Amino acid sequence: MKRSFLPQVVICVVSGLPAAVNAQSPYRIPVVVHVVHDDGNENISDAQVRNGIEILTRNWRKQNPDTVEIAMPFKPIAADMEVEFELARLDPDGQCTNGINRLRSALTTSGTHAVKELIHWPRDKYLNVYVVRNAAGLAGHALMPFQADSIPEKDGIVIQGSYFGNIGTSNDVRSMVLSHEVGHYFNLYHIWGGNNVPGFYYLPVGQQANCEVGDEVDDTPATIGWSTCNLSAASCDGTPDNVQNFMDYSYCGRMFTEGQKARVHAALNSPVAQRNNLWSAQNLQATGLGEPATLCKADFRGRRIWCVGEEVTLTDASYHGATEWTWDLGNGTQQTGASPVFTYASSGIYDVGLTVGNGTTTISTTKERFLYVLPVTGQPGQYVEGFEGIADITGSSVFTECEDVPCMELASVGATGSASVRIPNNGAPMGRTYALTSPRLDLTGITQPVIRFKYAFARRDTTNTDRLLVRISRDCGKTWFLRRTILPADLPTVANTVQGAFVPGPGDWTHVSSIIIPQNYATDNLLVRIEFISGGGNDLYIDDINIDSNTVIGIDELEMTRWQLAPNPTYDIFRIDGPMERQDVTILSVTGEHLRTLRNVPSGGQVSVGDLATGTYFVRLTAPGVAVTRRLVVMR
C-alpha cells in the first residue's frame, strides 16, 4: 500500500478534490521567459522560446501525437489537464512585451535560485521561467506552491536551454522537461514522491524504499521511479508502473493522470503561492492576454558590426503580428521583408529604421548609430584613444553598443587629461551589457602587439557582480576571442563602496596592461572590444586605450605581465601565453595545496582542468630565473 508523502509541512491543496469550475476554461497562464546567458548556446532564439511554450501547452492539453503509445493500463486515465500557457503581452508596467527577456550574467553557469534575483516579475501575475546554461546540475528545477508560498522571490522554474522546446539546441526527448517542471509548479510530486530542487528535501529516484512513499495521487501506482523507459516495470506490488508519466525521470513521458489533473486544479484554485490569481480574468487583462494579440511595437535585431561589401542581415522582432515591413538603411536605400539582406558600399555608422504594419496599423522605430560598417583596410600602426578634444562620445574613434538608453557618455574627468568614457551603471538593471569597439586595425607592422587601457570603478555594496571583459575579432565582429576577464572581486579600484554618484579622483584609476594579442590575430583586420556587464555596482570610467608593441615597456613589467592564461574563466582548458618557449606549470588550490605540476609546457600549449571543481585556483609558471603566479577561475 502506498502511503502519503508529507515532508514536515502542511500542504494546503490535496488530491481527491474535484476539478474546480473555471469559467475561463481552459485555464490560461501568462508566462515570461528570462533568458539568462553569457554568450553561450543557452541564449536560445525567440523561435525556440515560442516552440517550448507551444510544446508545453500541447503536452498539458493531451495533444501530443505520441499519446497513441500510452501503455494500455493507463490510456483510460490519461488526462487533458485543461491548462494552456501563453507568453505575456504586457509587462508589469503595462508596456508591450513579447514575454521574453534577455540578460547576461555569469549566474547562468550555476543556475541556482540566485538567477531569480536578477529579474523577477510578480509571481501572482506571471509564471517566471529562467533559461540558463546549467540548472544547478539538473535539467531543470521548480519550487512547489507550499515551498514557494513564503519565499515569493524564489518562485519560478529554472531550466537548461538545451531542454527547452524541440528545435534549436533541444530535441523531442529533452522537450519533456518543461512539462515536468510545470507539474512541480502546480503541486505535483515525482510519481515516486519528492521534488529534487536545490536547498530542499528530495527523494532519490530508483530506491526500493520509495514504494512506501508516493506522490499523494491515488491513480499513479506505487513505484521506485525510473531513469529509463522500462515499460514492463512493476517495481512495488506487481502493479504496472506509470513509467510514461511526465512526472517520472524516464524521458518517455506521454501523459498525466486524472488524479494529477484534480491535484493541479486544486492548486490553481488555492491562494497558496497565489496560483489562483494567474488565470483570473483581471490578470489576463493585466498581462495582455484578455484581448486578441495586436501589433504594438516595431523592433528588430541583428549583428551591429559588419564590413564594406559583406552581406548584412537584420531580423524583425516586432510585437505582435506584423505582415508588412519597410526598412530604411540609413544610406538612402530601402528594403522590404521580415529579414532583408543587403550590403553597404561605404564605411560609416548608420541609423536604421523599420516600419511595420498588419494591414490596418503601422508602427515605426529608428535606432540611431545602429550599424558600424568597417572599411576594407584597417588603420595601420599604433592605436590610441584618450577621448580628449571632442564634444561628446560620438566624436571619438570607438563604436559604442548598449542594450538601451542611457548609453555611454563623455565624462569631464580622466586618468590623464580631462576626459574619459563614463558607463552609467549606477542603478542599471542587472546583466545590462555595454561595449566599446575600436576601429578596424592593421597590426601587421607591430611586433608583439598588446592592449592597454585604464579604468576606475566603485562598488555600491560587497555583493556586486559587475565584470569587465576584453575580446578581439578578425572577422568583422562575427566571432570574438576572449582575452581577459576582470572578475567582480578584482574590478573595484577604490576600497570603499559608494552609494551616490562615483566620480574618480587621480588616485582611483588602475592600469590594465599587456593583454597579449596572439600573432595570428595581428592582421590587417583586427577589432578590439571592451565589454562591461552590470552587476549592481556604480559607474565605470574608461580612458587611455592603447594598442601597440609590448617592446616599448620595461623588462620588469614585460616579464610580469606577458604571462597570461586564456580563456580565464575557463570551463575545461586554458592556454598559456608567455615570453618563454617552455615553462613548468603548477596548479594550487586557494589554500596553497599542491594539485599537480606539468613540466616543459610550451607557450601556446593547452592545460586541461576539466576534472577540477568550480572555484578559484593559482597557477604558478616557472622558467629559469623567472616565476609568475596567475589566478585561474574554473566554471562548470
For helices 46-60 and 176-185, give the axis angle rounded to 10 degrees.
60
pLDDT at position 620, please?
77
Grid cell digits, residue 336? 522590404
Helices and strands, number each (H, E), in the chain = 7, 35
Contacts of 153 (CB under 8 A, 6+ apart): 116, 117, 120
Which among 232, 256, 286 is the end of a domain? 286
Q: What is the mean pLDDT of residues 304-317?
A: 94
Q: Do 242 and 116 share a structural domain? A: yes
Asked if pLDDT for residue 482 goes beyond 50, the answer is yes
1 — pLDDT class (breaks 50, 70, 90): very low
Query: 586: closest CA among 557, 627, 553?
Result: 627
pTM exceeds 0.85 for this model? no
Q: Do 345 and 442 share a structural domain? A: no
Q: What is the mean pLDDT of residues 500-520?
A: 91
**pLDDT tens, residue by residue, 406-449:** 689 999 999 988 999 999 999 888 889 999 999 999 999 888 89
Q: Do 68 and 98 share a structural domain? A: yes
| Domain span at 187 | 27-286
Q: Is residue 251 a part of any domain in this protein?
A: yes
Which domain CATH number covers 96? 3.40.390.10
Q: What is the mean pLDDT of residues 535-562?
A: 71
Q: What percent of the chain has pLDDT over 90?
A: 73
Which among 515, 545, 561 is the end of a domain? 561
Burial group, residue 484, by CB count within 10 angstroms (0-12, 13-18, 19+): buried
Q: Do 142 and 99 share a structural domain? A: yes
Average pLDDT of the chain is: 89
Residue 93, SS3? Answer: coil
Q: Is residue 160 a part of any domain in this protein?
A: yes
pLDDT at position 15, please?
38
Q: What is the mean pLDDT of residues 513-524?
A: 88
Q: Is residue 87 a part of any domain in this protein?
A: yes
Q: Do 46 and 147 share a structural domain? A: yes
Asked if pLDDT for residue 552 goes beyond 90, the answer is no
**pLDDT tens, residue by residue, 216-254:** 999 999 999 999 999 999 999 999 999 999 999 999 999
Q: Do 135 and 34 share a structural domain? A: yes
Separation between Cα atoms, residue 87 and residue 70, nearest integer Å: 29
Asked if pLDDT for residue 76 goes beyond 70, the answer is yes
Q: Is residue 114 a part of any domain in this protein?
A: yes
Judge whether 216 counts as a catalytic residue.
no
14 — pLDDT class (breaks 50, 70, 90): very low
Q: What is the mean pLDDT of residues 454-469?
A: 94
pLDDT at position 367, please?
94
Q: Which of 42, 84, 181, 401 is catalytic?
A: 181
pLDDT at position 627, please?
62
Q: Is residue 292 a part of any domain in this protein?
A: no
Q: Do 598 and 504 share a structural domain? A: no
116 — pLDDT class (breaks 50, 70, 90): very high
Asked if pLDDT for residue 123 goes beyond 70, the answer is yes
Which among 329, 350, 372 is the end of a domain? 372
Q: What percent of the chain has pLDDT over 70?
A: 92
Least confident of 189-203, 494-508, 608-622: 608-622
551 — pLDDT class (breaks 50, 70, 90): low
Cβ–Cβ < 8 Å for 497, 417: no
pLDDT at position 13, please?
37
Cβ–Cβ < 8 Å for 241, 249: no
> 584 or 403: whose pLDDT is higher?
584
How many domains does the chain divide into?
A: 4
Which domain CATH number covers 584? 2.60.40.10
291 — pLDDT class (breaks 50, 70, 90): confident
pLDDT at position 338, please?
95
Which domain CATH number covers 536? 2.60.120.260
pLDDT at position 21, please?
44
Q: Do 319 and 224 share a structural domain? A: no
Grid cell digits, residue 277? 490569481
pLDDT at position 16, please?
38
Q: Sign of the C-alpha dihedral, residues 390, 391, 394, 395? A: negative
Cβ–Cβ < 8 Å for 533, 432: yes
pLDDT at position 564, please?
79
pLDDT at position 57, please?
98
Asked if pLDDT for residue 38 goes beyond 70, the answer is yes
Separation between Cα atoms, residue 583 and residue 603, nearest integer Å: 8
pLDDT at position 22, please?
52
Parallel, antiparallel, or unpaired: how do β-strands 409-411 and 420-423 relate? antiparallel
Q: Do 574 and 555 share a structural domain? A: no
Asked if pLDDT for residue 6 goes beyond 80, the answer is no
Q: What is the mean pLDDT of residues 285-307?
A: 94
DSSP 3-state percent helix, strand, coil across the chain (nearest 5): 15, 30, 50
Q: Do 340 and 248 share a structural domain? A: no
Q: Do 347 and 448 share a structural domain? A: no
Q: Do 383 and 281 share a structural domain? A: no
572 — pLDDT class (breaks 50, 70, 90): confident
Asked if pLDDT for residue 389 goes beyond 70, the answer is yes
Asked if pLDDT for residue 120 goes beyond 80, the answer is yes
For the chain, how many residues are written?
636
Q: What is the mean pLDDT of residues 70-94?
A: 97
pLDDT at position 631, please?
74
